[in-house]
Structure 1
Amino acid sequence: MLLAPAEVSNYLIQIVVEGTGVLDRDRVEDAVQRAAEACPGARLVLAGRRGLDWMDGGAPPRVRVLPGDGLDRETFADSGELFRPLGGKRGEDNNEVVILTGERPALVFRIHHAVMDGRGALMWIAEVFRALRGEPLREARSTVTDADLLRDLRPSSRSVRKPAGRPPLRAPEPERHGSFFLRRTVQGTHPALVAKVTVALTDAIGEDEVVYGVPVDLRRHRPEERSTGNLAFGTRLSVRRGMGWETVHEQMLRALDENDELVSMPSAGMLDLVRRLPAGVLLKMTKGRSQAAFVLTHLGKVDLPEFSCAGFTATTVYSLPVWGAHVAPTLTMVEVEGRTEFFLGGDAAPGLVERGRALLDAVERALANGGGPLHGRQTPDDGSTLAGLLTASLRENARSVAIRAGGAEVTYQELDARAADIAATLIAHGVGPGAVVSLLLPRSVDAIAAMVAVLRCGAAFLPLDVGHPAPRLRDLVMDAKSPVLVTDRSARRSGVLPSGCAEIIVDDIDADRHKAPDPERKEPLPGDLAYLVYTSGSTGRPKGVQISHRSAANYATWAVREFGLDRDSAFPLFTSLAFDLPMTAIFPVLLAGGRIVLGNEEDAVPVRIREMLRDGSINSIKLTPSHLRLVADLDVRPDGVRLLVVGGESFPASLAEKAQRMFGPGCRIVNHYGPTEATVGCVTHTYDADRDTGATVPIGRPVDNMSVHVLDERRAFVSPGEPGELFLSGVQLAMGYRNRPDLDRDAFVRLADGTRAYRTGDLVRLLPAGELEHLGRIDVQVKIRGHRIEPAEVEYALMTHHAVDEALVVARPSGDADRRILCAYVVTNADIEAAELVAYADSVLPSYLVPAAIVVTGELRHTRNGKIDLAALPDPFGNDALPGTEPQWRDENEAAVAVIWERILGISRTAFAPDSDFCRLGGDSVALLTMVKSVATEVAKIDDNAMLRNLAAIISKPTIENMATLARNPDRAGRTSYDRSTFH
């Protein structure tokens, strides 16, 4: 954009890098200087008074420090000191860096648009951060100009046609009212973003046709050039109301292919002349002219680590729109780690700011695809803690039975007294707020009393499994930094107690030995740690999940209400205390005044449950589906069970139906979903045989004060009914992992609106009834013949066969350790050959989803925690090597296309199959054009124009098979429905 020096101070690119940490001015100044040496375009200043000639001023951009607190980061209103003019006078700096201090530290890079465009600015900013990290800098010393590119490229452009779209709009210069900025952060990054935004804006604006200016980076014609200069020139995009984004995207691709931005540019000589024109002449030339009704500037995707350094971690990057007297309303877009930052700038005339917000609303709705968060009931935070709720219940229900163990009964009053004795001993050992007390105890009265005692001290407890190896237990106690380990004589083990950790034997605690706890001791706060549970880690190292009092209190009070727990409720406690599954049988029951039933510690779980069901000592129970299947096979018909809570695994509808018959119509069956990181359970559904007709029981809707978000791989909302990863937010989220900030960053993320969320790794979809269905795991996703496969999809298909009760699909190595094949393990209810199941799978699944082997087995072995033991699964092929899986191309065209894909994508062609999708393998729009042209010239041996006539068919099905077919017959053009996830 060429502007007169008198006006030029308003035409600034302003890129903001927000983060956490501290930015030291001296370090920033040194980095800015070093980056300016590597990128001398950052030092350009005006060389004369009349035109826009530039010279190297020799000095790096200035660095200023301003207070950031109180600055409105959504509108940047009343931020005059930040937005002081730059440039416009001979020798005056055109660029500067502003450090914003405070709770949201940031670097604001203010850059004159005449010397840099957005991509050039990002190039220089990246070098500033490389300097801050102490890394070698990448020079950008090219002085190539747009006129230089035009001289070289225009003769070879395809056409000298006039640019597409309507003629430039000509209107009197509008009255100016100052400018406004509006920020909007939208969930996810989005393929074909510009096309989708133009469609949303056109529909919202309400005009029959809107012309958009879309800057194009001219560096694409000289990828070897590293220049920070202003090398952007716009193409015009005409969008009619009612157009689909696919049509607009195709129009953009064709414009790129035809070098539309070069055709639109003035001649090289004219560009040179304009730069030498006096300021007044330039103003007269630009007055009253607008090339577009709207300008869309997409700066692409940014990698936050590239904009981080020691002491400062970038959390987002966004760009304020260029704004001035002759600029159309402008929308900037930056894609960053699962969200898209939009900033709208325009004339602050009456009503236009509100109109701008409405336009951003329309864009956000369009990109949400009809999806959005699903919220549970919202209740006010009353400041409750788990410790406070338990204390109140113990006193209120003093005479009721709290625990039944064999023939003995313990009242709430007795449990309260036992907890007080243990608490007094803990306090005597210095236990208080902030401490983590390890509990190595069997399921017993003392174990429950110890939990209450620890909470009463203001500390947190870590439950350990008495059956785990001593070295593992020792590692957990050390990782938790426990000052005290509580155990009893039956569970006491040598080699568990680390140095510096005291041991308390509960058998030795006498009620008269210690005074009661100091009544003046402060109760824990809602945000304090209540308990710590270790789960297996993907790195091989267990990770400690930290649950606060607020989280535990929310779950427990919700469970009391939702499950209808009361003083008559009797819940068995039969699984290891080292997991969060038994928490349902402890805290909600105690808050409701019900009783906990302890079975014989020596009996196997199924036997223990059978005896409790037979003697009628329980009326509520929580099981994993695996445990439930074992119970359902027992010769028992329980009477009086009113609540069955099932969780921990996918819950087959066939098993739910069987359980309903077993427990009777009066038993409520609840599917209870929730990872440890979201406090026991956070999504639930009550089974209904008439409605739940799918293969699995839905997991349902979120509990009180929790929300769910179903997002795709770009963290954009998926449309209802489409599969996506489940993200959880709300008060039940864990505080994070113990001593594992590296895991926290990946697992606990920030959504677009700043909401803290946990990414579960679970694949779900929203059913028409507004409830979630669990489909499997994201993190067991495998790649077969170039396809990313979700085993849950295969499991679901196999379980639709009438003879299959249970199915598990895993990927096993085949030959090369990096290659995998699908193997299925099924439990059946009738004699059936594996070959018949393979044929059935082949009839309902694409070939690449059919397992290479299906093993019919009598049972799937389980771990102590009730989960399927993957390590125990047999190898269906033994030591026999499987046949190689090199792609078998049907003709030389397919083989040739695969070679081209390998070259462009940088992926070995052994990963491709005829139906591999180019865009899902990482190809963006420009790469797609390059691929199409290469296939045309190298395989079809035709002019690429002939192949580009089939662009619509290619967009809808960018596969090797389709490209090879089109190479054989370029005149074959067919249009099918578009895949929403096709384009980046």
Structure 2
Amino acid sequence: MSTPHSVPAAFRRQAARTPDAVALADGTRQLSYAELDSRADALARLLAEEGVRPGDRVAVCLERSVDLVVALLGVLKAGAAYLPLTLTEAPARLSGMLTDAGVELAVCDAAGARQLAGQSVRTVSELPGPTPAAAGLPAPGAEDLACLMYTSGSTGRPKGVMVPHRSVVNLVTEPNYVTLGPGDRILQLAPVAFDAATFEIWGALLNGARVEVPPHGPVGPAELTELLLERGITVLWLTAALFHRQIDSDAASLGTLRTVLAGGDVLSTDHVRRLRAAAPALEIVNGYGPTEATTFSLCHRIAPDEEFTHSVPIGTPLQGAVVELRAADGTPAADGDEGELWVGGAGVSLGYWQRPELTAERFVADADGRLWYRTGDLVRRRADGAVEFLGRIDGQFKLHGQRVEPGEIENVLAEHPEVRQAAVAVRTNHLGDLRLVAWLTTVEETLNRRALRAFLRERLPDHMVPALFATVDELPVTTNGKVDRKALPDPDWKSKALYL
């Protein structure tokens, strides 16, 4: 049987196969596949009545809930693309994304309505109940836009990655990196604007599994342990930081799973060894992939007795994906040499929304017409074919699974009247935790750090607000005149003055 070309088509096929199976649950409510299908159809019809047409972008801003998933599917069934928003998005950044994406309508709940107050968008805040089978809904194609995922931008302007239906469908159809099917329960833990949620939600719903939605708010190690047991979770995705934290807190708690996937940053080999000792039957997968290539491009299933010489490999390509290592001049790198990772295949997105120059820079067609995404990551291929991550070619980095362009933060810092110059980098503090640090040259000798932090929170998401601000007489520069982030002095982590 051929693979459906869109998310709604793939979901409808699964709903027809298992109409009575539970698709969604949040501890108090649950929907079967048939009920979810009907509710999403009803929302799609309502959106059409509100003027939504195929190709439009519709914002989705709800608490983590059953209704959030209904909203995402309903937008897709209306032929539109969803723009997922977090409830903690900085107002200025939120406004910029809505304007950039040309959003005129948003689906939200009460919390989302408060977040969108003052924005120039109409809202649908009450989702309709189930209705008889819908007829005449649009049928999006494989290349049609499914969602806009905004990532940090080096110029201070976030960039929207255009993810088509075929990329989402490829991610979770007959995956070679994880087993998914009826009977599985996947915890929907990632923020909806983080592309890991693409795997959690559609990986479950397009394979007959069950999406388990945790309560609102942060989920700490103890709460995660309880959720895994209470909900019978079988497959879990964690950022590297949360993966490490859970192992430090209670490694055995992950032993109730069949598979744990982790990534978004470098995995600690020591933590992997400790988890294997605490949960020897657990399958551990290291997942790698930029948003531009739809969540995962390569994955590595860690063998029970695998030894690590340098790091945990990021592995081999996903189904439908191809990778190449290229030298600085764009030619293929020799076996064993370092090279930039280029990703091709079905997962590669359509480029950046309304950013043709940036798209042309990062998305490159070869002589055969195949499109490649240049990741900017430096890697090496081992003799066994597995790829190892070596670092970034540019200054971009990942922090707690979220991509951070230091230039975006530095540009916002430079807008503050007390700041002359700014540089941002990640450092490991005295407790061994990664923290975002800003080094500043200032107009006056004293700096109002509280006011500066408030200024940033109006313009940046929380994960991009530095943990501390260090003042310096001047920023170190390299011989070519760029800020030398490696030469920035280590801060005094115990000095309260740097935080306040």
Q: What interval of TM-score do these two structures reach, taking the shorter chain for normalisation?
A: 0.7 to 0.9
2:44 alignment partner in structure 1: 423
| Aligned with 1:714 (options 329, 341, 365) | 329
2:466 alignment partner in structure 1: 871
| Aligned with 1:543 (options 156, 159, 162) | 159
| Aligned with 1:604 (options 192, 204, 219) | 219
**Alpha-carbon distance in structure 1 between the residues aligned to 2:478 and 2:164:** 52
1:731 alignment partner in structure 2: 346
1:774 alignment partner in structure 2: 389
1:654 alignment partner in structure 2: 270
1:742 alignment partner in structure 2: 357
1:694 alignment partner in structure 2: 309
Question: In the alignment, residue 492 of structure 1 is paired with which amino acid?
Answer: A
The answer to whether the Cα contact below 8 Å between 1:861 and 1:869 also exists between their aligned partners in 2 is no
Report how far residue 607 of structure 1 moved.
4.4
Question: In the alignment, residue 523 of structure 1 is paired with which amino acid?
Answer: A
**Residues 395 and 483 of structure 1: CA distance in aligned 2, closer, same or farther (over 3 Å):** farther
Whether 1:411 aligns to 2:27 is no
Question: In the alignment, residue 506 of structure 1 is paired with which amino acid?
Answer: E
1:442 alignment partner in structure 2: 63
**Alpha-carbon distance in structure 1 between the residues aligned to 2:461 and 2:225:** 16
Output aligned runs, 1:925-936, within 5 Å: none
The answer to whether the Cα contact below 8 Å between 2:234 and 2:256 also exists between their aligned partners in 1 is yes
**Alpha-carbon distance in structure 2 between the residues aligned to 1:715 and 1:585:** 35
Question: In the alignment, residue 486 of structure 1 is paired with which amino acid?
Answer: V
Whether 1:505 aligns to 2:121 is no
Output aligned runs, 1:130-279, within 5 Å: none
**Residues 478 and 774 of structure 1: CA distance in aligned 2, closer, same or farther (over 3 Å):** same
**Alpha-carbon distance in structure 1 between the residues aligned to 2:327 and 2:268:** 25
> 1:468-497 CA distances to partner (integer Å, 9 max, x unpaired)?
123322322221112321001132126556
**Residues 497 and 683 of structure 1: CA distance in aligned 2, closer, same or farther (over 3 Å):** farther
1:433 alignment partner in structure 2: 54
Tell me the TM-score normalized by structure 1.
0.42
| Aligned with 2:101 (options 480, 495, 502) | 480
1:343 alignment partner in structure 2: none
> 1:811-861 CA distances to partner (integer Å, 9 max, x unpaired)?
9x9xxx9999x99844xxxxxxxxxxxxxxxxxxxxxxxxxxxx6444224
SS at match of 2:46: helix
Question: In the alignment, residue 241 of structure 2 is paired with which amino acid?
Answer: S
1:757 alignment partner in structure 2: 372
Which of 855-864 and 757-766 deviates more?
855-864
**Residues 763 and 604 of structure 1: CA distance in aligned 2, closer, same or farther (over 3 Å):** same
2:433 alignment partner in structure 1: 859
Question: In the alignment, residue 502 of structure 1 is paired with which amino acid?
Answer: R
Report how far residue 648 of structure 1 moved.
0.8
**Residues 761 and 668 of structure 1: CA distance in aligned 2, closer, same or farther (over 3 Å):** same
The answer to whether the Cα contact below 8 Å between 1:441 and 1:466 also exists between their aligned partners in 2 is yes
User: Any stretches of 5+ residues in structure 1 without a counterpart?
Assistant: 1-379, 782-790, 793-809, 827-854, 888-906, 912-984
**Residues 885 and 729 of structure 1: CA distance in aligned 2, closer, same or farther (over 3 Å):** closer
By relative contact order (CA 8 Å, sep 6+), the higher-ranking structure is 2
The answer to whether the Cα contact below 8 Å between 1:574 and 1:608 also exists between their aligned partners in 2 is no
The answer to whether the Cα contact below 8 Å between 1:725 and 1:762 also exists between their aligned partners in 2 is yes
2:111 alignment partner in structure 1: 490
**Alpha-carbon distance in structure 2 between the residues aligned to 1:526 and 1:824:** 39
Output aligned runs, 1:295-694, within 5 Å: 382=3, 384-493=5-114, 496=117, 498-499=119-120, 501-507=121-127, 509-511=128-130, 517=134, 519-559=135-175, 562-615=177-230, 617-635=232-250, 637-638=252-253, 639-662=255-278, 664-688=279-303, 690-694=305-309
**Alpha-carbon distance in structure 1 between the residues aligned to 2:9 and 2:102:** 25
Tell me the TM-score normalized by structure 2.
0.80
The answer to whether the Cα contact below 8 Å between 1:657 and 1:689 also exists between their aligned partners in 2 is no
**Residues 861 and 411 of structure 1: CA distance in aligned 2, closer, same or farther (over 3 Å):** farther
Report how far residue 689 of structure 1 moved.
5.0
SS at match of 2:252: coil
Question: In the alignment, residue 706 of structure 1 is paired with which amino acid?
Answer: A
**Residues 452 and 675 of structure 1: CA distance in aligned 2, closer, same or farther (over 3 Å):** same
**Residues 438 and 570 of structure 1: CA distance in aligned 2, closer, same or farther (over 3 Å):** same
**Alpha-carbon distance in structure 2 between the residues aligned to 1:745 and 1:403:** 40
SS at match of 2:388: strand
**Residues 623 and 527 of structure 1: CA distance in aligned 2, closer, same or farther (over 3 Å):** same
Q: Between Structure 1 and Structure 2, whose CA radius of gyration is higher?
A: 1
**Alpha-carbon distance in structure 1 between the residues aligned to 2:466 and 2:85:** 23
Question: In the alignment, residue 593 of structure 1 is paired with which amino acid?
Answer: G
The answer to whether the Cα contact below 8 Å between 1:762 and 1:776 also exists between their aligned partners in 2 is yes
**Residues 398 and 605 of structure 1: CA distance in aligned 2, closer, same or farther (over 3 Å):** farther
**Alpha-carbon distance in structure 2 between the residues aligned to 1:634 and 1:866:** 27
**Alpha-carbon distance in structure 2 between the residues aligned to 1:870 and 1:463:** 21
**Residues 599 and 824 of structure 1: CA distance in aligned 2, closer, same or farther (over 3 Å):** closer
The answer to whether the Cα contact below 8 Å between 1:712 and 1:725 also exists between their aligned partners in 2 is yes
Question: In the alignment, residue 493 of structure 1 is paired with which amino acid?
Answer: R
Report how far residue 874 of structure 1 moved.
6.5
SS at match of 2:332: coil
Question: In the alignment, residue 137 of structure 2 is paired with which amino acid?
Answer: R
User: Any stretches of 5+ residues in structure 2 without a counterpart?
Assistant: 399-405, 411-419, 438-456, 485-500
The answer to whether the Cα contact below 8 Å between 1:404 and 1:597 also exists between their aligned partners in 2 is yes
**Alpha-carbon distance in structure 2 between the residues aligned to 1:886 and 1:579:** 34
Report how far residue 635 of structure 1 moved.
3.7
1:942 alignment partner in structure 2: none
**Alpha-carbon distance in structure 2 between the residues aligned to 1:495 and 1:411:** 30
**Alpha-carbon distance in structure 1 between the residues aligned to 2:103 and 2:463:** 32
Question: In the alignment, residue 579 of structure 1 is paired with which amino acid?
Answer: F
Question: In the alignment, residue 434 of structure 2 is paired with which amino acid?
Answer: L
SS at match of 2:173: helix
The answer to whether the Cα contact below 8 Å between 2:63 and 2:87 also exists between their aligned partners in 1 is yes
**Alpha-carbon distance in structure 2 between the residues aligned to 1:424 and 1:497:** 27
Report how far residue 652 of structure 1 moved.
2.2
**Alpha-carbon distance in structure 1 between the residues aligned to 2:231 and 2:70:** 25
**Alpha-carbon distance in structure 2 between the residues aligned to 1:652 and 1:584:** 23
The answer to whether the Cα contact below 8 Å between 2:83 and 2:148 also exists between their aligned partners in 1 is yes
**Alpha-carbon distance in structure 1 between the residues aligned to 2:72 and 2:427:** 40
**Alpha-carbon distance in structure 1 between the residues aligned to 2:379 and 2:257:** 30
**Residues 603 and 886 of structure 1: CA distance in aligned 2, closer, same or farther (over 3 Å):** closer
**Alpha-carbon distance in structure 1 between the residues aligned to 2:461 and 2:248:** 16
The answer to whether the Cα contact below 8 Å between 2:280 and 2:304 also exists between their aligned partners in 1 is no
The answer to whether the Cα contact below 8 Å between 2:427 and 2:436 also exists between their aligned partners in 1 is no
2:402 alignment partner in structure 1: none
Question: In the alignment, residue 860 of structure 1 is paired with which amino acid?
Answer: L
